Chain A
Amino acid sequence: MTLTALQRNWPVVALIAALLAGAAAPLVFGLSAPGFYLEVLLGGLMSGVLYSLVALGFVLIFKASGVFNFAQGAMVLFAALALARMSEVMPLGIAFVLAIAIMALFAWLVERLVLRHLVNQDAVVLLMATLGVTYFLDGFGQMVWGSDIYQIETGLPKTPILVLEKVFDGGILINSEDFVAAAVAGLLVLALAIFFQKTPTGRALRAVADDHQAAQSIGIPLNRIWVIVWTVAGFVALVAGMVWGSKLGVQFSLSLIALKALPVVILGGFTSVPGAILGGLIIGVGEKFAEVFLAPIAVQQFDLAGGGIENWFAYVLALLFLLVRPEGLFGDKHIDRV
């Protein structure tokens, strides 16, 4: 970046600098032992990867069809419910494959019954349509699968493990299940990135994202592409649902994590896959740091009742980004003629 570009974007630069300073502060001011600091950082990254996954679902659909899919959270819940209930009667692997098939069928139905008839309508119309899909999925899911709290037994070890005991005093405590989950999510993100960059279908998807009209004129069928992206978004929802569900139990509140992914896409940019990934990590780490390091200081200094920063930190950060960089870190800048 040249100096003038730096000057022009100074609010963004200042915001990023403040974030970095905030992240470094606990270490610099000796608020935390290095080992504990690293533990919090890792915890943040792990939940961040999961935010990234849900955000990725948003971005994929938004890029390919310009639809802001409010139903992403409902899809996470529905997929997790399907997986949990089916895995009660069959091995998890088979239930997983069947759940993918169910999400593909759902994608096909959404294209057939909803999207196809609303092509070229206003963004608000499409948003309302996905709101409808959200409530349908929530209700239908409970009707078919039930409304209790269900378990997904992934068979992963739940015992925490201690690492780097030699380096840090007391070592670092890692929840091994979280660690595996984060690794799976990370691999999935990587696989999707390769799929989009390297395969002909991925290329067609990027083409549709860039220019609908031109994509059609070279014979890329929009309808098929929409089914594919909704299926991929459904698959991502399934993985997110499985990971969160095995941690917290499959229950209605799962659909609310979509609301956590909103600040992530605002931060990363609605049209950027790397943005969704990085945004998720920033928010995951940010809210953990705020909760663990900032909240106690605030409570002490101002004699407050309690912490709870974790719940709103992401939104305040998103709001700041909206003020200084509405298109997000990596999103496309829109310059509209007035």
Chain B
Amino acid sequence: MSGRKIGNVILQVADVSLAFGGVKALQDVSFDVREHEIRAIIGPNGAGKSSMLNVINGVYTPQQGKITFLGKTRGAMDPHDAAAMGIARTFQSLALFKGMSVLDNIMTGRNLRMRTGLLAQAVHLGFARREELRHREYVEHIIDFLEIQAYRKTAVGRLPYGLQKRVDLGRALAMEPRMLLLDEPMAGMNLEEKEDMCRFVLDVNDEFGTTIVLIEHDMGVVMDISDRVVVLDYGKKIGDGTPDEVRSSQGVIDAYLGVAH
């Protein structure tokens, strides 16, 4: 156990509201994420989970509220800024570069850490080549870690779904992020693939010390691996706490199972 010591708050979401026209996707949602923890955001369909993730990632700018990451409070920004601040993400509906090999896909994750200029790359200068090799080493480490060595040179579009999910995770890990956002990492997987993915999420958290925020529909999986859970329903926060606390909360049970009026 290396990185498993939960630290200070690194992400603070305060009173965030987001609306698309008349649809209120999020209403006054507040929660925090501590360093090195696995934090889950759960909720039924349409609860605002993906909206929340997109707000943290800078895809949407909330109409109200503040987001503070590593001590910096920010207003409008785009996903590129979020990436530069150390926030990586994976996608629910895979957004890999399908025509490129597994290796190239994961190498793109090193983009922000590339220092050599365009011209140096173009003429293939020595230091540009050495930098590429250094990044390649790190990426190989990730490939080993995710057990996808055999598919290095395969075009991603030709891999089965479960493996593509791993490549997506690998690309995000290559950024060496402070915080990793996982958008329904187990969606559409069979039981075996889900177990694999759970193991990888736990191992990433453990070995790289990465803080993980994950959105999940499937409550069972989340309860097993998360340290703390936020529950959303119709854009509002209805629960927040350890898995056990959340599981026994009446509001959460009502939201998930429905309540007789």
A-side residues, CB < 8 A to B, are 195, 198-204, 206-207, 210-211, 213-222, 228
Question: Contact size class for B?
Answer: 35 or more
Task: Verify B95–A203 contact, CB threshold 8 A.
Answer: no
With the chains together, A233 CA to B121 CA distance in Å? 18
Additional 15 contacts, C-beta under 8 A, given A210-B97, A219-B84: A199-B124, A200-B107, A200-B132, A201-B118, A204-B111, A206-B97, A206-B99, A210-B98, A213-B79, A214-B95, A217-B57, A217-B95, A219-B80, A219-B111, A220-B111
Q: Which residues of B contact A222 (CB under 8 A)?
A: 80
Restricting to B69-120, which residues have a CB under 8 Å from any CB of A? Answer: 78-80, 82-84, 88-89, 91, 95-100, 104-105, 107-112, 114, 116, 118
Q: Which residues of B contact A202 (CB under 8 A)?
A: 121
With the chains together, A204 CA to B57 CA distance in Å? 20
Min CB distance, B215 to chain A, in Å? Answer: 15
Task: Verify B121–A221 contact, CB threshold 8 A.
Answer: no
Task: Verify A217–B88 contact, CB threshold 8 A.
Answer: yes
With the chains together, A218 CA to B112 CA distance in Å? 8
Q: Is B260 an interface residue (CB 8 A)?
A: no
Task: Verify B118–A210 contact, CB threshold 8 A.
Answer: no
Task: Verify B97–A214 contact, CB threshold 8 A.
Answer: yes
Question: Can you sample 18 A-B contacts with CB below 8 Å?
Answer: A198-B124, A200-B107, A200-B110, A203-B108, A203-B111, A206-B99, A206-B100, A207-B100, A211-B95, A211-B97, A211-B98, A213-B59, A214-B96, A214-B97, A219-B80, A219-B83, A219-B112, A220-B80
Min CB distance, A58 to chain B, in Å? Answer: 19
Task: Verify B122–A207 contact, CB threshold 8 A.
Answer: no
Q: Residue A200 contacts which of B57, B84, B111 (CB distance < 8 angstroms)?
A: B111
Task: Verify A199–B122 contact, CB threshold 8 A.
Answer: yes
Q: Residue A216 contacts which of B80, B97, B114, B121 (CB distance < 8 angstroms)?
A: B80
Task: Verify A204–B88 contact, CB threshold 8 A.
Answer: no
Q: Chain B CB within 10 Å — which of A195, A199, A228 has the most?
A: A199
Q: Which residues of A contact B39 (CB under 8 A)?
A: none
Q: Residue A195 contacts which of B98, B99, B100, B122 (CB distance < 8 angstroms)?
A: B122
With the chains together, A216 CA to B118 CA distance in Å? 19
Q: In this complex, what residue of B is CB-closest to A221?
A: B80
- A201-B121 contact, Cβ under 8 Å, with A207-B97, A217-B79, A220-B80: yes
Counting from the closest, the 9 A-B pairs by CB-CB distance are: A219-B83, A214-B95, A210-B97, A219-B112, A199-B121, A216-B79, A207-B108, A217-B79, A207-B97
